[in-house]
Each structure stands twice: as C-alpha cells, then as structure tokens.
Amino acid sequence: MGKNLAISIGINAYDFLTPLKYAKRDAELMREFFRVRGGFEKVLLFSEDSPDIKGKPSRPSFINLKRVLRTMFEKPFLGDGDNFWFFFSGHGMPHNGSDYLMPCDGDPGDIENTAISINFVTERLRRCGADNVILILDACRDQGSKSGEGIGNQATEVARQKGVITFFSCSPNELSYEIEDLQQGIFTKALLEGLGVQGKCATVERLDHYLNSRVPELIRQYKSKKVRQTPYVIAEPIAKSHLIICPQYATLYDVAKMKVDAYSAEVNKDFELAEQWWIRVLAASPGDIDAINGIKRIVVSRRENEVSSQDNSVSGSVEKPSQSPLSSKSTPVANTTRTEADIPLKSERGVDYTNLRDLLAARRWKEADRETLRLILKAAGREKEGLLDTKSIEKFPCEELSTIDKLWVKYSNGHFGFSVNKRIYQSLGGTTQHNTEIWEKFGDTVGWRKNGQWLYYDDLTFSDKNTAPGHLPVSVLAGEGKSLQHWMLYSSSNLCWWFCWLE
C-alpha cells in the first residue's frame, strides 16, 4: 500500500481581500477525510486558528506557507507508488500571465511579492519524491466579484508541463460558490461525496466524471439555473486519469487499466514508468501475479541493457581504421541497423504480407486494417464470402496470425496487435468462456465503446495518437458501416478464433 501525505489550507479571514465563510471548514473537512477515511500518514492543516506544527505557526500567511514549501520539500521523502495531496480553499488571482494563491496577508496591489505562484507550489511538491502529486484548487473567487477572470489558464499549463494532476473547482471565467445551507463550498461538498461512499470514485477519471455531474446539480439546487460552475481536471499524460486514488473502491476493471499502461510502458522500454505502474497495481491489488511478474521482467531487462551497454562500450573502444575520424577516406561501413526484414513474413498458405508491412511502416493505419482483413480472408480461403465462419476459424493457421500480429506490434511500438488485445482481455478476467460484462469492459478499455454504446467501424480512430492500446486491428471483427456489436452475434465463432492466442 502506497503512502499518502497531504497539506490542507483554508482561509476565511483576509487582511486585504473579501472574507470567505466556509473555506476554513472545507479545509478541516478535507483534513478529516484524509486522516480518518483515507488513512493518511500525515496531514498538515493551515487555517487562522489551526494548532502549531512542531512548534511552528500554522497561520496561512505568506511567510509561513512559503517556509513550509521551501523547507519540507528540500529533499525527497516519498517514493514510487506514493501520493502527495495539496488542497487549497481561498482566494486565487491571476497577475501578469501567472496564477497565484492568496495567503491571508496577500496584497492584491502587490501580488508578486505577497502571494504564492502556483508554479512555485507545483515545483516544490514535485520534489517530494512521490510519482503522483494531486493538486486540488478551490480558489476561483475573484474577491467575491461576479466579473473578471480567475485562476486556471496559466495553472493548467503548469499542470501539463509538470505532470501534476490538478482539479479546478471551476473554469477561469466562473466563480466557485459557497452555500449557506450547506455551510460549505459546493465544489468541496461534491469532492468529499466523490471520494466517499456516495461516489466511490476509485480513479482520477471517475472522480472527474462525478464532479462534472454533481457540481452543476448542486448549483441548480442551491443557486440558480442561470449560474454556472464547471469543475475540470488536468491529468496528462492521459494514462494518469487511470490512477487509483481511493484503493478501497477499486474494481478489477480499474486495476486492469493500470496493467494496460504498465504493459505499454514495458513494450516502449520505459522501464522506470512501467515499474511505477506495476507498483501501483500491487498497491491496489496486493500479491497480483501480473504485477510481480512485470517487476521481475523489468529487473531482467535492466540487467540485459547494462550488459549490452558494457559490450558496446568495449567494442567502441577497439580502434577500427576504416572508422577513424583521422582518416581522410573512410571505408563505408555496412548498415547493421535492424530493419523490417527482421520479422520473417512467414505463411503456411502462401500469403504475401509485404503490402501490409509497408502500410504499417508508413503508419497508414486504416489501409493496414483493411489489408489485414483481406489477408486473413485469403489465408482462410474465404475471400468470396467476405467473412469467417466457425469452421474456417477453427482451422485458421496460427502462423498467419502470428505474422500479422508481429507486424502490427512492431510498427505501432507495441500499441496495436492481437497479442495486445489478448493481454488486455486476460487482465480484465476474460477466459475462453463468453462473458458479456467482460466483453463490454474490454470494449471500453480498447476504445470500441463510448458512453455505454458499441461504436461503428467508421467512428473508430485510425491513429496511434490519442487512442487506447489494442484499438487496432479491428476490421476482421466488423467491416465498414457495421457496429462492433455486430460481431457479438457470432461470438462463439469469434471467440474460437480470438483465443487461438490463449491456448
């Protein structure tokens, strides 16, 4: 189980700004949630009457907050699989293209010297060593005015650049409201529901969805249908939206999404990132065999890379006259780079895979997808019929499937391919027995379903950018103009073909 630490700040009483009513209470409720329900190891509270912290004042003044951010985060004290949360409820103001959090003594006439930039906050928090930092900002008040721009624009870019998951209570041109009947800010009310038993939001993605529906609902109930407050989250890269932030509510589906991200990082040889994902899988699912095996693979891969680097260093130190930089006429060296030919285009049925290889190498994904269907039908002897039947599927040669899969995996850098689909399906608990619930989750995971509905072939995304792993190839399951649900009618046949990889 990863460690969780937090700072919770709430400011009602301002020296130079309009006072707020419930920011302090919001911070106290968040502190209570972190400590009791979240089981956090350490939570620091800053408000106008919060107790001292190790003999140091906790009043949220400029000096006190700046001191904590400067001293507490001087050296790393967390690691992979850990989380640091930062909650702020109070005023926030933009100034000269930067966004600032206003301490209790912040002067709107001298923001640069009396307020704390969000850029500084994120820079310090990133030093804690945790591979995940969550920033929650309920700070779009604009001194209580109903006009003017609040924080968000520059803070959004900071979050993207530094990889900090950031929840904003509203859009920059909106206000974040406090409600007398609730004695809370609306955003924090919804946030605590989402993190609690009402929302049971295990992941960043699910919490984002909950806030997007619940906050407007509370606004309509307590304010007016004309008033708008639109929360949003920045979680980049997109895989960060799959992070499990409340393990007690996590499902197998949530864990499976992180497994997919871990596998993808492994394939792309980003072993540091892969290890971080596998550690998080273990935190949510202790003893998970896939995570244990994944970490073992990473250890082996790192050792192999070290040996390879040493070998290259030794061979590079041997003088080769033809490559000497002092030679005026160097002899051309044979190209030893691994090329497409490294994947033998094997076929038991005499199928030529050259065109598929070339289309994939050119990243012409849709044409390659169609070519995949054509080649599979050719290998099965079903070109006239235009589809596979049970008999042809059962007799389909795995060598053909292997060649096609290896080409897809190679040219997509492990993003697409039948073996990628298999890995995802198994991680969701799929077996050779048909299970509609698992197939629907599989469709959600690879991007074949949206808003609970199976997509049509023409609505798919034929790109390796902004698509889920395993999104392609797909034409063998549903041709143009057809819904991907169409192939479910023939699930018994398709399952036999699909699980050629599982046997």
Report domain extents, the chain: 4-249, 342-501
CATH number for domain 4-249, candidates 3.40.50.720, 3.20.20.140, 1.10.3720.10, 3.40.50.1460: 3.40.50.1460
pLDDT at 335: 35
Of 102 and 225, which is predicted with more confidence? 102
The number of residues in the chain equals: 503
**Which residues make Cβ contacts (< 8 Å) with residue 154, sequence separation at least 6?**
94, 97, 98, 99, 118, 119
Of 52 and 427, which is predicted with more confidence? 52
pLDDT, the chain, mean: 83
Residue 238's pLDDT band, with cuts at 50, 70 and 90, is: confident
In the block, residue with structure tokens 């699980």: 499
pLDDT at 8: 98
281 is written with which tokens? Answer: 């899988």
pLDDT at 165: 95
- 342-501 CATH: 1.25.40
Can you tell me the mean pLDDT for 262-291?
87
pLDDT at 423: 80
The residue type found at 252 is L
In three-state form (DSSP H/G/I as H, E/B as E, the rest C), the secondary structure along 49-110 is CCCCECCECCCCCHHHHHHHHHHHCCCCCCCCCCEEEEEEECCEEEECCEEEECCCCCCCCC
Query: pLDDT at residue 316 above 70?
Result: no
**Which residues make Cβ contacts (< 8 Å) with residue 314, sequence separation at least 6?**
none
The residue type found at 296 is K
Residue 146's pLDDT band, with cuts at 50, 70 and 90, is: very low
Alpha carbon separation from 39 to 5, 24, 34, 84 (Å, rounded):
9, 21, 6, 13
Can you tell me the mean pLDDT for 55-63?
96
Query: pLDDT at residue 276 above 80?
Result: yes
Of 188 and 386, which is predicted with more confidence? 188
Q: Whole-angstrom Cα distance, residue 354 to residue 235?
A: 40
In the block, residue with structure tokens 């530094």: 162
DSSP 344-386: ----SS----HHHHHHHHTT-HHHHHHHHHHHHHHHHT-TTT-
In the block, residue with structure tokens 């009618």: 489
Give the residues across from 179 on adjacent strands: 184
CA 158 from chain center: how many Å? 17
pLDDT at 305: 75
Of 109 and 263, which is predicted with more confidence? 109
Residue 421's pLDDT band, with cuts at 50, 70 and 90, is: confident
